[in-house]
Amino acid sequence: MATSVRSRCLRLLRVVAPWRSSLLHCENTAVSHFLQSLRKLPVRAFYTNARRVHTAPARTLFLLRPLPILLVTGGGYAGYRQYEKYRERELEKLGLEIPPKLAGHWEVALYKSVPTRLLSRAWGRLNQVELPHWLRRPVYSLYIWTFGVNMKEAAVEDLHHYRNLSEFFRRKLKPQARPVCGLHSVISPSDGKILNFGQVKNCEVEQVKGVTYSLESFLGPRTSTDDLSFPPAPPCGSFRNQLVTREGNELYHCVIYLAPGDYHCFHSPTDWTVSHRRHFPGSLMSVNPGMARWIKELFCHNERVVLTGDWKHGFFSLTAVGATNVGSIRIYFDRDLHTNSPRYSKGSYNDFSFVTHTNKEGIPMRKGEHLGEFNLGSTIVLIFEAPKDFNFKLKAGQKIRFGEALGSL
């Protein structure tokens, strides 16, 4: 019985197969003819009772639109990054330690391809445009509300006094707003948030906990020129050992992040002498704490101005790091410094010595004295030599104001 049923099915297939192949051939031929006729259709117009309607070939419906795809992809990635940051903040509130997730090489390269230097120059030009008198209060009030600016500390509280955004960003404070601590040897050079601090070990410095950058890449290579502040190199030893000039001392660091709403000027953190300036042109990526946890050696990628010299315990340096929309870094006593120039060589740096034949010491700075300014929030990095019993009076993540103690012996 089973054999007879199977033989009948085989005979049926032999009969249907030719018809099936011919049907498929006809279907394919019809579809191909239909598509060819669509390609030949011109753009036509016809009228309805409402309006004139244009028709286009159907093939245009199948073209890929690169801009919408780019916007959707970029928006999705940005949304994912924001979700990750939100999740990290929630876990931090619960007291859980989150291991940093570092960006890949392609992500860093993609970020660096954004023309942040051009955008920062455009932002700088916009900041210098004088605002109409009636527009100043609403514009500045929006900025104050967004970033939590305390205008009661400003030397001039009247918002109409500031002709443009640049003057508002660089506003001065009342003399009594930031008393300078005289009991401690090192004070905070600016308002901001403490990202990290401690001893420099193995020539690596932590920008945030768990994410480091190279000390030599950040400060630049030693040079044997006599007028530079770097001490003579020992016959052998690491870059860190070359900076420590006195036996028994250690190398310390402190990273302070200035938010857009913070006071934008920075001051001398101690009594010291500035003998050398090194300017590194570079990228202008954001330096907020989230980016510092994401991009390794972020501070080495960005444009920065390194001031080096000596204090009573040996080597001392202060570095002003640029960021997005903060291409302009100004040092008051250095008129030859020009940051965020349109053209620069990748990996290059410019040296300038303040030690001359007429000035053998350099530029003396007193603790709390005005040193420079940013046009918007950025980062200050201190790297200095001190005895082993130097103690920081800080906690990671705390808010600090200019004049408050960083540490002392």
Residue 211 lies in a domain: yes
Residues 6+ apart with CB under 8 A from 80: none
Strands, sheet with 265-267, edge to edge from the N-terminal-most edge strand: 265-267, 370-374, 329-331
φ, ψ for residue 371, nearest 5 deg: -120, -45
Structure tokens at 326: 């903060």
**pLDDT averaged over the chain?**
78
* Residue where the block lists tokens 């006593």: 333
> Collapsing DSSP states into helix, strand and coil, what is residue 8?
helix
Q: Which of 185, 190, 191, 310 is catalytic?
A: 191
Residue 186 to residues 182, 212, 341, 404, 409, Cα–Cα distance (Å): 9, 23, 33, 9, 9
**Annotation says 378 is catalytic:** yes
Most confidently modeled range among 41-45, 50-54, 341-345? 341-345
φ, ψ for residue 140, nearest 5 deg: -70, -35
Residue 272 belongs to what domain range? Answer: 186-221+237-408
Q: Which of 229, 275, 283, 378 is catalytic?
A: 378
The whole-angstrom separation of Cα 106 and Cα 20 is: 52
Each residue's pLDDT tens digit, 166-203: 888 888 898 888 889 888 889 999 999 999 999 998 78
Contact 317, 220 (CB under 8 A): no
The whole-angstrom separation of Cα 383 and Cα 297 is: 16
Taking the whole predicted model, whether its pTM rises above 0.75 is answered as no
Contact 384, 406 (CB under 8 A): no
Q: What pLDDT is attached to residue 175?
A: 82
Q: Which residue has the higher pLDDT, 342 or 331?
A: 331
Structure tokens at 395: 């906690």
- Residue 12, pLDDT > 50, answer no
* Residue where the block lists tokens 């031929």: 29
Q: Which of 253, 264, 267, 301 is catalytic?
A: 267
Q: Is 268 exposed, middle or buried (0-12, 13-18, 19+ CB in 10 A)?
A: buried
Each residue's pLDDT tens digit, 304-315: 999 999 999 999
Structure tokens at 119: 């955008």
φ, ψ for residue 101, nearest 5 deg: -105, 105
Residue 254 lies in a domain: yes
Residue 175 lies in a domain: no
Residue 120 lies in a domain: no
Q: pLDDT band at 107, cuts 50/70/90?
A: confident
Structure tokens at 76: 């999705």
Residue 297 lies in a domain: yes
Each residue's pLDDT tens digit, 30-40: 445 544 554 55
**Annotation says 334 is catalytic:** no
Look at strands 272-280 and 363-365 and give their pairing: antiparallel
Contact 368, 187 (CB under 8 A): yes
Contact 258, 379 (CB under 8 A): yes
Structurally, how many domains does the chain consist of?
A: 1
- Residue 77, pLDDT > 80, answer no
**Annotation says 341 is catalytic:** no
